[in-house]
């Protein structure tokens, strides 16, 4: 396939345009589940038991007309402010990461096929030409400027009782607060119900381990203020959140408490993932675009 291109998201159904590809490392625990591991001692992706494989992902713009109907946050890609003493977060609306298997290419005769503030800055579209969509130099400049804060490297996936959870961590940068370094990450979580039963996420239970030797437990109702229902008609939900550590690395794992329509509860595993920083990286003003 060529880049860029128009596509439909196979799971969330929105229209979008591919900006550029990422070659991610996918750690799929469903493939390597030959032993049962304790949730207290998760296997992180560097272990011998779990090997990653390369898998294409794409940076995409989401059509603004579809945003109100998507069961995913449309302001999920966030950046730290450029000032070293600020904890403010900035978001780029309508920016997403999509796996190759979820991309359904299509063509359009519309001169403006995607409604997004950045579309006309990044592309020219002429249905009479092949390919009809051409990237402008501004897209390459934007990619180079924001590369280290957009970069996707590791994807983690695990299925429990036909509920698949995908976790993608992103390093955001470091902040100095009262002579203490605070390292920030955002992480994207996607839940997908592969069964015909209706499920509802009721609780979250996280364990967050820091290289400094601290362990934090986070429990609460739902996620991002919601208790999403995953049905056959709407099987998926995606959200993003943030975590900070007083150490340059750590890891996270946990479970979601899930209720079936018959009242049965089960714990769905969240695949363990590492939180790794890049030394010398600091957010710049470019992240505010």
Residue 234 lies in a domain: yes
Mean pLDDT of 58-71: 94
Query: What pLDDT, in 10s, does the model give residues 129-168?
Result: 888 889 999 999 999 988 888 889 899 999 999 999 999 9
- The confidence score (pLDDT) of residue 72 equals 87
- The confidence score (pLDDT) of residue 128 equals 82
- The confidence score (pLDDT) of residue 127 equals 79
Does residue 35 register a pLDDT over 80?
no
Residue 220 lies in a domain: yes
pTM equals 0.87
Residue 10 lies in a domain: yes
Whole-angstrom distance, CA of residue 53 vs CA of residue 59: 19
| Selected residue with higher pLDDT from 54 and 41 | 54
Mean pLDDT of 237-246: 94
- The confidence score (pLDDT) of residue 189 equals 97
Residue 46 lies in a domain: yes
| Selected residue with higher pLDDT from 249 and 37 | 249
Domain that holds residue 198: 6-288
- The confidence score (pLDDT) of residue 177 equals 75
Residue 1 lies in a domain: no
Does residue 257 register a pLDDT over 60?
yes
Over the chain, what HEC string results?
CCCCCEEEECCCCCEEEEEEEEEEEEEECCCCCCCCCCCCCCCCCCCCCCCCEEEEEEEEEECCCCHHHCCECCCCCEEECCCCCCCCEEECCCEEEEEHHHEEECCCCCCCCCCCCCHHHHEEECCCCCCCEEECHHHHHHHHHHHHHHCCCEEEEEEECCEEEEEEEEEEEEEEECCEEEEEEEEEEEEEECCCCCEEEEEEEEEEEECCCCEEEEEEECECCECCEECCCCCEEEEEEEEEECCCEEEEEEEEEEEECCCCEEEEEEEEEEEECCCCCCCCHHHHC
Q: What is the mean pLDDT of the chain?
A: 87
Lowest mean pLDDT among 76-80, 109-113, 195-199: 76-80
Residue 44 lies in a domain: yes
Does residue 263 register a pLDDT over 60?
yes
Structural domains of the chain, count: 1
CATH number, domain containing residue 80? 2.60.40.1470
| Selected residue with higher pLDDT from 179 and 166 | 166
Does residue 286 register a pLDDT over 70?
no
Does residue 226 register a pLDDT over 90?
yes
Residue 196 lies in a domain: yes
């Amino acid at each position: 396939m060529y880049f860029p291109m128009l596509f439909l998201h196979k799971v969330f159904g929105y229209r979008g345009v591919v900006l550029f590809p990422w070659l991610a490392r996918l750690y799929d625990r469903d493939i390597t589940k030959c032993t049962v591991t304790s949730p207290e001692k998760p296997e992180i992706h560097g272990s011998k038991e779990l090997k990653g494989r390369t898998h294409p992902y794409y940076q995409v713009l989401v059509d603004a007309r579809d945003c109100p109907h998507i069961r995913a946050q449309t302001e999920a890609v966030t950046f730290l402010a450029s000032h070293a003493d600020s904890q403010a977060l900035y978001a780029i609306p309508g920016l997403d990461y999509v796996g190759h298997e979820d991309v359904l290419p299509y063509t359009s005769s519309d001169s403006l096929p995607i409604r997004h503030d950045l579309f006309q800055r990044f592309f020219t579209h002429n249905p009479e030409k092949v390919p009809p969509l051409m990237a402008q130099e501004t897209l390459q400049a934007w990619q180079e400027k924001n590369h280290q804060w957009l970069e996707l490297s590791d994807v983690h996936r695990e299925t429990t009782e036909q509920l698949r959870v995908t976790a993608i961590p992103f390093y955001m940068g470091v902040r100095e607060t009262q002579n203490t370094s605070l390292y920030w990450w955002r992480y994207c979580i996607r839940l997908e119900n592969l069964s015909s039963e209706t499920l509802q996420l009721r609780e979250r239970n996280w364990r967050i381990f820091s290289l400094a030797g601290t362990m934090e437990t986070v429990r609460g109702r739902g996620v991002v203020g919601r208790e999403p229902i995953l049905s056959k008609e709407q099987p998926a939900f995606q959200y993003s959140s943030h975590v900070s550590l007083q150490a340059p690395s750590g890891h996270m794992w946990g479970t979601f408490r899930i209720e079936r329509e018959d009242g049965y509860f089960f714990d769905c595993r969240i695949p363990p993932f590492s939180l790794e920083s890049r030394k010398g990286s600091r957010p710049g003003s470019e992240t505010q675009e």
